[in-house]
Amino acid sequence: MLGTIELLERHAARCRRSVVRMVRSSGAGHLGGSLSCLDIVTALYFHAMDVDPKNPGKTNRDRFILSAGHKCMAQYAALAERGFFDISLLDTYGKLNTKLPGHPDMHKLPGVEANTGALGHGLSISVGMALGLRAAGLESRVYTIMGDGELPEGSNWEAAAAAAHYGLQNLAVFVDDNGLQISGRTVEVMNMEPVEERFSAFGWATRSIDGNDMSEIVNTLGALPFEPGKPSAVIAHTIKCKGLSFAEGKMAYHYWKPKEDELALAELELDEAVRLGEAG
Ligand SMILES: Cc1ncc(C[n+]2csc(CCOP(=O)(O)OP(=O)(O)O)c2C)c(N)n1
Ligand SMILES: [Mg+2]
């Protein structure tokens, strides 16, 4: 029988394949960041979060905020895999009047909690939600994914201060620290290191992990909140484009508009990963 980690890895392999399916349908997409955060997104939807695909608006659900909204192919893939909608809807990604636009829209797709894509707003939204859940007496958590490239946005640090001030232990942030953003290495575009110490100095409880290692992700989720009365920040070291050998760690694949031969190569590689997962 498969254990938790193997099952989650199987879901992640299928979700990676779904990401490339969306790129096939629309012709392009934010590949790199979607693949780097995908293991975390998978663990959230299949291990950590109390959500109900049949009742996506239930009051006591956990909330997921994808602050770096351009990574939404990861969320769409996980929502489809979890049964929020039929997987064929993925083929409408990025098309006119789709429920799956290039940045997530809460008014179009059940399961999406906020409209994101303008970087630097997700943490503020998350703080408000965490405060609201606590005020309502609910045990629900807010899980937020940020990109390392959005950390320089000043609004994040107002939100970080507020989260600590209000002792929001029901808030957990994952920084998808893939070392790259749209135009170069994050430390060269705007150096925010040391990121973990920065959150810690703002009053958060912190951890650093390998954000593409399912065991580490699951252990980390099991340890939340890291300290009572504090928000938790996970600096998740990841690889941009994780899972596609020819693209891993390369800035050129931030936004991917593939030629047919490269797309076919990607499909072959990810089909094989799915097959291996199913065989395991
Ligand atoms: C306010 C704002 N400024 C600029 C952009 C354009 N933009 C889209 S993705 C991106 C890079 C983000 O880097 P990161 O958060 O590290 O994401 P990843 O590396 O995972 O793709 C930028 C600058 C934006 N979406 N919003
Ligand atoms: Mg990045």
State both tokens at 47.
């291990």
Is the CB of residue 117 below 6 angstroms from any atom belonging to ligand 1?
yes
Strands 184-185 and 171-177: unpaired
Is the CB of residue 102 below 6 angstroms from any atom belonging to ligand 1?
no
User: Nearest CA to 273 among 25, 19, 99?
Assistant: 19
Q: For the purposes of burial, counting CB atoms within 10 Å of the CB of 47, is it exposed (0-12), middle (13-18) or buried (19 or more)? A: middle
Task: Indicate if the pLDDT at residue 68 is higher than 70.
Answer: yes
Domain ranges of the chain: 4-279
Is the CB of residue 190 below 6 angstroms from any atom belonging to ligand 1?
no
State both tokens at 34.
């979607």
Report CA(36)–ligand 2 centroid distance (Å). Answer: 8
With beta carbons less than 8 A apart as the criterion, state whether 241 and 16 touch. no
CA 72/CA 164 separation, integer angstroms = 27
CA 59/CA 56 separation, integer angstroms = 9
Percent of the chain past pLDDT 70, that is, above it, reads 100
Task: Indicate if the pLDDT at residue 2 is higher than 80.
Answer: no
Report CA(279)–ligand 1 centroid distance (Å). Answer: 37
> HSE of 73 in the Cβ direction (CA atoms, 13 Å)?
31
Write down the residue that tokens 């429920």 correspond to.
99
Task: Indicate if the pLDDT at residue 1 is higher than 70.
Answer: no
Ligand 1 atom 20: the closest Cα is on which residue?
Answer: 33
Task: Indicate if the pLDDT at residue 124 is higher than 90.
Answer: yes
User: Nearest CA to 219 among 231, 229, 230, 210?
Assistant: 210
Ligand 1 atom 17: the closest Cα is on which residue?
Answer: 147
User: Nearest CA to 173 among 188, 182, 162, 186?
Assistant: 162
Report CA(71)–ligand 1 centroid distance (Å). Answer: 9
With beta carbons less than 8 A apart as the criterion, state whether 106 and 72 touch. no
User: In angstroms, what CA-CA distances link 254 with 28, 66, 101, 123, 181?
Assistant: 11, 17, 17, 22, 8
Task: Indicate if the pLDDT at residue 262 is higher than 70.
Answer: yes
Single pTM value for the model:
0.98
Ligand 1 atom 16: the closest Cα is on which residue?
Answer: 149
**175: phi then psi, degrees, rounded to nearest 5:** -90, 115
- Helices then strands (H, E): number in the chain? 10, 7
**Which-ligand-closest: CA of 30?**
1
| Per-residue pLDDT, 88 | 98
Is the CB of residue 34 below 6 angstroms from any atom belonging to ligand 1?
no
CA 16/CA 247 separation, integer angstroms = 13
| Per-residue pLDDT, 3 | 87
Superfamily of structural domain 4-279: Thiamin diphosphate (ThDP)-binding fold, Pyr/PP domains (3.40.50.970)
Task: Indicate if the pLDDT at residue 218 is higher than 70.
Answer: yes
* The ligand 1 atom nearest the CA atom of 180: 19
